[in-house]
Amino acid sequence: MSLPALKRPHLAAKPFLPYGRQVIEEDDIQAVCEVLRGEYLTTGPAVGRFETALAKTVNAKHAIVCANGTAALYMAARALGLGPGTRIIVPSLTFLATASAPHLNGAEIVFADVDPDSGLMRPQDLAEAIGRAGHADAVFNVHLNGQCGGLEEIGQIARANGLKIVDDSCHALGTAYFANNGAPSLIGENTFCDLSVFSFHPVKAIAMGEGGAVTANDPDVAAVLARTRNHGMTRNAVEFANSQDAFEAESRPNPWYYELVEPGFNWRANDIQCALGLSQLAKLDRFLARRRALAVAYDELLAPYAPRLKPVARQESCLPAWHLYAVQIDFPAFGLTRAAFMRALAEEGIGSQVHYFPVHRQRYYAERYGVANLPGADRYYARALSLPFFASMNEDDVERVVRTTTNILGL
Ligand SMILES: Cc1ncc(COP(=O)(O)O)c(C=O)c1O
């Protein structure tokens, strides 16, 4: 028996808008299908091609692709020798992985405060955290929402204190930074840091399903990163220490031989992921242009409601590749909780999310280190909300989100 179609004009007129999502087009699907019809499902030619294209995109000498951004952060910590006995400064306003990945390599984490209006770690926050730590070995800075700020000063403070610098650039593929003399550089180029880490999770600028990468300019560090991704083993004959088993009589390497330098995990990305990544990377400029236009549309429509409802503070030194459209809402001033507001938005088919609950308050870290006084992180978190933002949205969607938001807030 066939049933009549259920008429739901309310839902049909208002498709659900998640806070973020991938944009997959027919040629992306074709690219993946080609890999599935071919020889390699794991490491094949698409891996190297993606690495070359990514390095070129961000102006880095080397890009090492891997399973996801978390693996990339771990690999970065390992490649820089940030293991047991070391201390790493991490801004509290970030995703768990910025702290947990290097911590799992043995480092202890010292959380830094952030600017309450942008969520970014400021130079003075880094200096304060180094002072509190007594001694630190590295900083993992975070380009929250796709913005960056104070990179030159952060670099100077880090270098003066002997810290290595890893930029967690998972939000910031395509972001540009302007130094104090006006010189532009791309995030990933590593002008003011040692390594940059990216994620290609579906809500990011480009999607690989799961995927991540580290960019590096030092070829030796790049080699360690590549080895770390692949069980900590090497097939490079010049690195072999066990010559008796590695080589034939005429010092030719045995064709089957590989050597374990230090134990590692399998954090390889495969050809299926990289074919999708390559196809998506070719669209990065278009996706970013769309995201920037959407951000302008949001900014204009929200302008009358500041300061109770406003976008996160902008950094003059940055041309962001917006990853999220994050606003700051003074919920108590509107007499409602964030949870009630998010539920009301969801009832209207609009998704939202909080980026992030400060990591220094997360159960594990609070139990391990106690809860430091980081008022900027607390204040940013109290007002944070990410509204729908992805490259296939249009200006009507933005208008709908702003209208619904202001209606619920009684504006
Ligand atoms: C700032 C930040 N760092 C690290 C990660 C981890 O990336 P992945 O999800 O690819 O492991 C994410 C992803 O959500 C992130 O937003």
The pLDDT tens digits for 122-153 are 999 999 999 999 999 999 999 999 999 999 99
* Side-chain-side CA neighbours of residue 86 (13 Å): 22
State which ligand 1 atom lies nearest to the alpha carbon of 201: 10
Q: What spacing in Å lies between the alpha carbon of 70 and ligand 1's midpoint?
A: 6
- In one-letter notation, the amino acid at residue 311 is P
68 lines ligand 1 (CB under 6 A): yes
Q: What is the mean pLDDT of residues 273-282?
A: 98
- Tokens matching residue 190: 């590593």
State which ligand 1 atom lies nearest to the alpha carbon of 199: 10
Q: Are 198 and 213 contacting, i.e. CB atoms less than 8 angstroms apart?
A: yes
95 lines ligand 1 (CB under 6 A): yes
- In one-letter notation, the amino acid at residue 97 is A
Q: What spacing in Å lies between the alpha carbon of 174 and ligand 1's midpoint?
A: 16
* CA pair distance 83, 262, nearest whole angstrom: 13
pLDDT band at 243 (very low <50, low <70, confident <90, very high): very high
Q: What spacing in Å lies between the alpha carbon of 171 and ligand 1's midpoint?
A: 8
% pLDDT > 70, the chain: 97
The values of phi and psi at residue 259, to 5°, are: -125, 135
98 lines ligand 1 (CB under 6 A): yes
- Please calculate the CA angle 180-205-319 and round it to the nearest 5 degrees: 20
Q: What spacing in Å lies between the alpha carbon of 166 and ligand 1's midpoint?
A: 14
Q: Are 323 and 329 contacting, i.e. CB atoms less than 8 angstroms apart?
A: no
Q: What spacing in Å lies between the alpha carbon of 72 and ligand 1's midpoint?
A: 9
69 lines ligand 1 (CB under 6 A): yes
Residues with Cβ within 8 Å of residue 40, at least 6 apart in sequence: 46, 270, 271
pLDDT band at 13 (very low <50, low <70, confident <90, very high): low
Q: Are 114 and 137 contacting, i.e. CB atoms less than 8 angstroms apart?
A: no
Average pLDDT taken over every residue of the chain: 96
- In one-letter notation, the amino acid at residue 182 is G
Lowest mean pLDDT among 8-22, 130-144, 356-370, 391-405: 8-22
pLDDT at 75 over 80: yes
Residue with tokens 């808008």: 17
pLDDT at 261 over 90: yes
pLDDT band at 249 (very low <50, low <70, confident <90, very high): confident
pLDDT at 273 over 60: yes
pLDDT band at 5 (very low <50, low <70, confident <90, very high): low
* CA pair distance 135, 110, nearest whole angstrom: 10
pLDDT band at 2 (very low <50, low <70, confident <90, very high): low
Per residue in 302-320, pLDDT tens?
999 999 999 999 999 999 9
What is the pLDDT, as a whole number, of residue 104?
A: 98
- Tokens matching residue 48: 């190297």
102 lines ligand 1 (CB under 6 A): no
pLDDT at 180 over 60: yes
pLDDT at 12 over 80: no
Q: What is the mean pLDDT of residues 279-295?
A: 98
* CA pair distance 63, 55, nearest whole angstrom: 5
Assessment of whether the complete model's pTM goes beyond 0.75:
yes
pLDDT at 6 over 70: no
What is the pLDDT, as a whole number, of residue 9?
A: 47
Residues with Cβ within 8 Å of residue 4, at least 6 apart in sequence: none
Identify the bridge partners of residue 198 per DSSP, sorted by sequence position: 213
What is the pLDDT, as a whole number, of residue 14?
A: 79
Q: What is the mean pLDDT of residues 273-292?
A: 98
Q: What is the mean pLDDT of residues 27-43?
A: 97
174 lines ligand 1 (CB under 6 A): no
97 lines ligand 1 (CB under 6 A): yes
* CA pair distance 301, 164, nearest whole angstrom: 41
pLDDT at 19 over 60: yes
* CA pair distance 55, 44, nearest whole angstrom: 18
State which ligand 1 atom lies nearest to the alpha carbon of 355: 16
What is the pLDDT, as a whole number, of residue 7?
A: 53
Indicate the top mutation candidate among 19, 114, 201 to test ligand 1's pocket, ranked by most ligand atoms within 8 A of CB: 201
State which ligand 1 atom lies nearest to the alpha carbon of 73: 4
